[in-house]
Amino acid sequence: MSGSALTAAPALPVRGRLRPLGITDVRITGGFWAERQSVNGEATLAHIEHWLEREGWLGNFDLAAQGVLDGARRGREFSDSEIYKFLEAMAWEIGRTGNARLEARFRAVVRRVAAAQEPDGYLNTNFGRPGQAPRWSDLAWGHELYCVGHLLQAAVARARTRPGADDGLLDVARRAADNVCATFGPDGIDGLCGHPGIEAALVEFARATGDDRYLAQAALFVDRRGHGRLGDVEFGREYFQDDRPVRQATVLRGHAVRANYLAAGAVDVAVELKDAGLLEAVRDQWQNTVARRTYVTGGQGSRHQDEAFGEDWVLPPDRAYSETCAGVGSVLLAWRLLLVDGDPRYADLIERTLFNVVATSPAVDGRSFFYTNTLHRRELGTRPDTDRPSLRAASSLRAPWFEVSCCPTNVARTMAGLAAYVATSDDDGLQLHQYVPGEVAHRLPDGRAVSVSVETGYPHDGQIRVRIDSDDDRPWSLSLRVPGWATTGATVTVDGETRPVGSGVITEHRTWRRGDEVVLSLPVAPRFTYPDARVDAVRGCVAVERGPLVLALESVDVPGGDTVGDLRVDTDRPPSLADGRVTLRCRRVRSHDHDWPYRAEPVPVTGEVLDDVALVEYHAWANRGPSTMRVWLPVAAPDPADRG
Amino acid sequence: MSGSALTAAPALPVRGRLRPLGITDVRITGGFWAERQSVNGEATLAHIEHWLEREGWLGNFDLAAQGVLDGARRGREFSDSEIYKFLEAMAWEIGRTGNARLEARFRAVVRRVAAAQEPDGYLNTNFGRPGQAPRWSDLAWGHELYCVGHLLQAAVARARTRPGADDGLLDVARRAADNVCATFGPDGIDGLCGHPGIEAALVEFARATGDDRYLAQAALFVDRRGHGRLGDVEFGREYFQDDRPVRQATVLRGHAVRANYLAAGAVDVAVELKDAGLLEAVRDQWQNTVARRTYVTGGQGSRHQDEAFGEDWVLPPDRAYSETCAGVGSVLLAWRLLLVDGDPRYADLIERTLFNVVATSPAVDGRSFFYTNTLHRRELGTRPDTDRPSLRAASSLRAPWFEVSCCPTNVARTMAGLAAYVATSDDDGLQLHQYVPGEVAHRLPDGRAVSVSVETGYPHDGQIRVRIDSDDDRPWSLSLRVPGWATTGATVTVDGETRPVGSGVITEHRTWRRGDEVVLSLPVAPRFTYPDARVDAVRGCVAVERGPLVLALESVDVPGGDTVGDLRVDTDRPPSLADGRVTLRCRRVRSHDHDWPYRAEPVPVTGEVLDDVALVEYHAWANRGPSTMRVWLPVAAPDPADRG
């Protein structure tokens, strides 16, 4: 179905520098992400359904349909959204695999959702019934519009992967969206949702249905935010991004998921309405956020209290919040900006966030998840209860489910639709942004079918071999991203000729023949990474990275110790790589307790040298039982004895 | 009234190494604390009364008495406790000054409180009336027992400063305490309060009334904690210290105010019941907490989310919570341990906490307060609303009142009763723990009247001149604390002879004559202080201290900048002191923004040298308008050019 007018992708802007390719244009056939997609499809989706049933969040719809929900509803006020994200995940997975059993499950869930919809299109199990708060009575915290947003996203995913399917989801979504427009339109309630999300969803729904009323409603929601309509809360108005209008803000702030979802929706509105000012504002916010408020993992959100960004440079590894869903939101935002501008920095952040946040959340078996993704764990975690939902931010081991369980479904929908973030096209050819073994096939606007296949062991192997699978007499362009971290050492080989390339985009404009090859070689030797001096919390530390992967020191790899706190890295020896293991030379120091931990003299730290301390890929930590871990490693001071 | 059987002090254990002297035994006549006591008495008490009236928290008692409170109650569930802390503060202030106008205000408030008490002694404006939750129905969050605790403390303060007064407060307290014992005794509700506090109060009430039922009830409450009776909450059971029994815990944890209040009550119970195991457990908890979980200011509590301690070594200066009330609680705990053991480390922490937490909270005019006491402020604060209560943890400028306004009344009662933490006695003589200009007079158990007066400009001047004001033919001991920070350079001069002394307690046992002098000379030159290497958040930084005072760099003192983030301290030059100003040599570095703040090479920082950057005493920061501030200052790396 390559080149079809209907692209199976979550975001389809009508204009922008690049056009997305969908999951039917791009196939991931092996490697790091294919493994995870497979686990997601085979284990995670069933795991999610199991918990949605057992916690009664799906059952809420049945009780609502039977008119007996009153008093029996289970779950938090936003639990409906998990069903919709589950539907979205299944829609992508069905589109990806054609799994018939999943198709049946999908339809069964849609039926139960549809049965709970009210005659006027309103659909939410938490409001409006006898014994419940009235509809729209708690916009700040009720998440009603947020839930509708996820319903629309599910319907969009389905419409783009199974156009014309007779499951009824698109109708349910349309009636819910119409109800929102009727209720919150220019003459309706002058309100907005405490949790952004519906903005991007409404724009996408407008794109999917061709009905601009939804776009207009999204624009209205974007414009309403930032004027204090949501009231004052202990966390401050910035929690909801209601402290200042989107077009006046200069950085993402407040609740990190909300901030990213809102900014993504604002880009959508700006693109469709050619609102250059709004777009420029978000671009600026993104740039400042990435430069000053983002963890080395790509994670965003420093604070537990309000799941929020800190001020500039406040990036403590301790209890870093770095919510999985904020990572998903950051991918959504960066992808939209990439489509608009084509700037590879957006794809750089997507890559970093996918490998180090989104891939970190699920356990290897796809049946437990991190909600937060701390960069420093000081005490051994306790094994979570497998029989009941965990508290969301225990930052301990991965848990099967949470009382607030937004992350598992967000991971599932992202994993299932991941191919949609790999490549784009423009009038002149194809652009590869992420490197996965697979195939990309597309019909250019002038009707030419172009296709390539990619062979690579990336991210562990830096060689990316792109083979042209189509023949064409006219030239077209193939563009490859050289990641921002590949500052030196990258080369590209075309037609037998190798040349060095720097970070950015390289474009080869040629008359390509089937069998032609472009080989991009990226320097994936492990390397030290130093923080900006303004990140106070990691002064005197280094991180170790390998390609796009952040590495970590985990106590299970340290001989004889549950703690990772007493190792100091010898930066005179670069990290070494042998047999797939990255190791460091460290010095183990022992501190001694005093009555009072502040002294008149710095205490020199010396100790035994450990020659080969192994690191773990950050996404894979905490898969071997309780452990302590740190990403930022203190640098050993030069040994006074070495000074001569 | 020196040497009277009735000591006007908040804690009067029947045994222990040292016996407290009360506010009638110790008079503070000038200097740092006298100024603050004067502001407290003249401005803060009236300010508090004004806000208690305007917010309706006092009015709640009137409405309750009139039977019309239903639905009209204002304030949070614990607001009654502010009235009781206000009464306690007034009681100490009346005891200190004999202020007749204050006496009338005190009696007026007591009358309003008494009128709201119910026939069976129950007293709380938030529970038990039609339309309110039933009494004792929310022990975890309701604060009913906590409020009774503060009522008892107020009554104890009054009974010890105006014994036999006919105001009725003692009776109100007794009836409330009896109601608690009847309700929560061995045959009553097997429960405890989510916020500790009543434990210490009941013990003190037992001491004040001679009725051991209250002691038994306190012991019961201490023993009931730590078994999960309060249920699970998102913050974890340690929030309430309900995760493990007091006698099994090894460190303070969870909510920092609760942790300190509980530990103080446990010491009281242990002392009265000769429970060596319980005492040893708290002693151990204190030691570990001070060694690993306490800020250089003495502040405790790292986290905003749950106002809680972090794990060991988690002491981020950014958004350090360091709640004022946790500082007060820490003083209460350390004082009790000092009385038991006589170990000067307890008095060291009290001194540090008084100067750098308790003195930091109130503004110079005594009419606004810090609730939290951060060690690093990155962005200019906004001036708080003077017309309505502020959010408690804005960490911005001091605010006149808070929605949760525990700190102003806690500061007020501590300031008014401060003289009770200065000196103690034992069978052999007097011990001075804190140095204030003033007079100490006491009758030893054998009937001898001993008295001394102190002249000092401490903490800015290190000379403390203690003059004997009594004559006696038999020898007695005068003990002076040499603070832990005075590791070198302290001397004592007795009888014209000067000798060096180290940190600890020096005791002079002599036959003292009126006019004899002991001069302690402490090294109060400003000094650098280095953190334990395990405090990751301040690696590579120094603090500057001067005597017991922590200093800070505040942007209003930095030429041409709102930020304190770009200064690096040259530690080759010690801090200098001239004309009362402490200055540092710094290098101003300029960082440049990049797209991404993590780099393959450390960025060397160089820049102009600023020779005399002035510091401010931490307690005095934020008194000159919005500013940024930091206590921990990054050390300048050696300039590569200097290496030769």
Best of A404, A532, A603 to mutate (most B CBs within 10 Å, chain B): A532
* Chain A: closest CA distance from residue B644 (Å): 14
Q: What is the pLDDT of residue A129?
A: 95
Chain A residue at shortest CA distance from B598: A531
Mean pLDDT across A310-329: 96
Residue of B nearest to A288 (CA): B595
Strand partners, B19: B425
Q: How far apart are CA A618 and CA B461, in angstroms?
A: 53
Mutate to test the interface with A, among B234, B239, B487, B534 (most CBs of A within 10 A): B534
Buried b (16+ CB within 10 A) or exposed e, B538-573: bbbbbbbbbbbbbbbbbbbbbeeeeebbbbbbbbee
Cβ distance of A597 and B312 shorter than 8 Å? no
User: How far is Cα B206 from Cα B117, in angstroms, rounded to an integer?
Assistant: 21
Distance (Å, rounded) from C-alpha B252 to C-alpha B463?
36
Note which residues in 567-626 of chain B have CB less than 8 A from chain A. 589, 591, 593-603, 605
Test A305 with B303 for CB contact under 8 angstroms.
yes
Beta-bridged to residue B312, according to DSSP, are none
Query: Do A627 and A565 meet the contact criterion of CB atoms below 8 Å apart?
Result: no
A595 min Cα distance to partner chain B (Å): 5
Per-residue model confidence as pLDDT tens digits over B1-38: 233 447 899 999 988 899 999 999 999 999 999 999 99
Chain B nearest C-alpha distance from A546 (Å): 12
pTM of the model: 0.95
How does pLDDT run across B464-479, given as a tens digit for each residue? 999 999 999 999 999 9
**Per residue in B462-500, is it b (16+ CB within 10 Å) or e — as a string?**
bbbebbbbbeeeeebbbbbbbbbbbeeebbbebeeeeee
Count of CA atoms in the C-beta half-sphere (13 A) of A207:
29
Q: Cα separations (Å) of A606 from A562, A640, B533, B546, B570? A: 20, 9, 12, 30, 24
Which residue among A311, A376, A603 places its CB closest to the CB of B533?
A603
A532 inside 8 A of chain B by CB: yes
pLDDT (tens digit per residue) in A200-216: 999 999 999 999 999 99
Mutate to test the interface with A, among B536, B542, B553, B605 (most CBs of A within 10 A): B536
The greatest distance separating any two alpha carbons of chain B, rounded to the nearest whole angstrom, comes to 85
Residues of A in contact with B561 (CB under 8 A): none
- Residue B314, chain A, CB below 8 Å: the answer is yes
Tokens representing residue A281 in the block: 């504002």
Contacts of A599 in chain B (CB under 8 A): 529-530, 532
C-alpha distance from A298 to closest chain B C-alpha (Å): 10
Say yes or no: A378 contacts chain B, CB-CB below 8 A.
yes
- Give the one of B539, B591, B598 whose C-beta lies nearest to A530's C-beta: B598
Q: Supply φ then ψ for residue B68, to 5 degrees.
A: -120, 25
Asked if the Cβ–Cβ distance from B291 to A595 is below 8 Å, we say yes
User: Are residues A287 and B537, on separate chains, in Cβ contact within 8 Å?
Assistant: no
Q: β-strands A598-599, A581-588: how paired?
A: unpaired
Whether the CB of A182 is below 8 Å from some CB of chain B: the reply is no
Interface of A with B in 439-498 (CB under 8 A): 484, 487
Considering chain A, what percentage of its residues have pLDDT values greater than 70? 97
Q: CB B535 to CB A314 under 8 A?
A: no
Give the mean pLDDT of A266-277.
Answer: 97
Record the tokens describing residue A565, joined without a space: 């706190």
Region A103-112: mean pLDDT is 98
pLDDT of the residue at B394: 65
CA dihedral A179, A185, A191, A195 (to 10 degrees): 60
Q: Report how far apart the first and last C-alpha atoms of chain A are (Å, whole number).
A: 70
Q: Do A596 and B348 touch (CB under 8 A)?
A: yes
* pLDDT score recorded for residue A188: 97
Closest CA to B309 of B333, B297, B295: B295
Answer whether A615's CB lies under 8 Å from A584's CB.
yes
Distance from CA of A615 to the nearest CA of B (A): 18
Q: Taking CA atoms, what residue in B is nearest to A592?
A: B532
Handedness of CA B316, B320, B325, B327 (dihedral sign): positive
Phi, psi at A507, each rounded to 5°: -120, 125
Give the model confidence (pLDDT) of A439-474 as tens digits.
999 999 999 999 999 999 999 999 999 999 999 999
A313 touches chain B (CB under 8 A): yes
User: What percent of chain B stands above pLDDT 70?
Assistant: 97
Do A532 and B594 lie within an 8 Å CB cutoff?
yes
Amino acid at B619: H
Between chains, do A312 and B596 touch, taking CB under 8 Å as contact? no
Place of tokens 């300190």: B260
Q: Which chain B residues are closer than 8 Å to A484 by Cβ?
A: 595-596
Considering only alpha carbons, which residue of chain A is nearest residue B303? Answer: A305
pLDDT of residue A562: 64
CB-nearest partner of A540 from B318, B484, B539: B539
Q: What is the pLDDT of residue B638?
A: 63
Mean pLDDT of A220-235: 95
List, as ranges, residues 290-309 from B with C-beta within 8 Å of A: 290-292, 294, 296, 303-305
Q: Is the pLDDT of residue A1 over 60?
A: no
Does residue B536 belong to the interface with chain A, where contact is any CB pair within 8 Å?
yes
Asked if residue A644 has pLDDT above 50, the reply is no
Q: What is the pLDDT of residue A387?
A: 85
Q: Which of the residues B596, B601, B628, B643 would you substitute to probe the A interface, choosing the one with the greatest number of A C-beta atoms within 10 Å?
A: B596
Spatial contact of A576 and A586, defined as CB atoms under 8 Å apart: no
CB contact at 8 A, A53 and A79 = no
Contact: A313, B565; criterion CB under 8 Å: yes
How far CA A600 is from CA of A440, B349, B508, in Å, comes to 64, 17, 28
Q: What is the pLDDT of residue A70?
A: 82
Assigned token pair, A375: 């960069």
CA distance B130 to chain A (A): 21
Per CB-CB distance under 8 Å, the chain A contacts of B314 are 318-319, 378
**Residue A598 three-state SS:** strand
Given an 8 Å threshold on Cβ–Cβ distance, is A291 in contact with B603?
A: no
* Nearest residue, CB atoms, A597 vs list B234, B311, B532: B532
Block means of pLDDT (10 residues each) for chain B, length 644 residues?
62 91 96 98 98 98 94 95 98 97 98 98 96 96 98 98 96 98 98 98 97 98 98 92 98 98 98 97 98 98 95 95 98 98 98 98 96 94 85 79 95 98 97 98 95 98 98 96 96 96 97 97 97 95 98 92 85 94 92 89 79 96 94 81 40
Amino acid at A90: M
Provide the number of CB pairs (under 8 Å) joining chain A to chain B. 159
Predicted confidence at residue A395, as pLDDT, reads: 60
What is the model's pLDDT at position A637?
75
Q: Per-residue confidence at A605, pLDDT binned at 50, 70, 90?
A: low
Measure in Å the smallest separation between the Cα of A510 and chain B Cα atoms: 32
Q: How far apart are CA A277 and CA B400, in angstroms?
A: 41
Q: Nearest CA of chain A to the CA of B390: how many Å?
A: 9
Q: Would you call B343 an interface residue with chain A, using a CB distance cutoff of 8 Å?
A: no
Element (H, E) at A111: helix A100-115
Which helix H or strand E contains A328, and what residues bound it? helix A324-341
A316 and B318: CB-CB below 8 Å? Answer: yes
Average pLDDT for chain A: 94
Alpha carbon of A57: minimum distance to chain B alpha carbons (Å):
20
Band (A642; pLDDT cuts 50, 70, 90):
very low
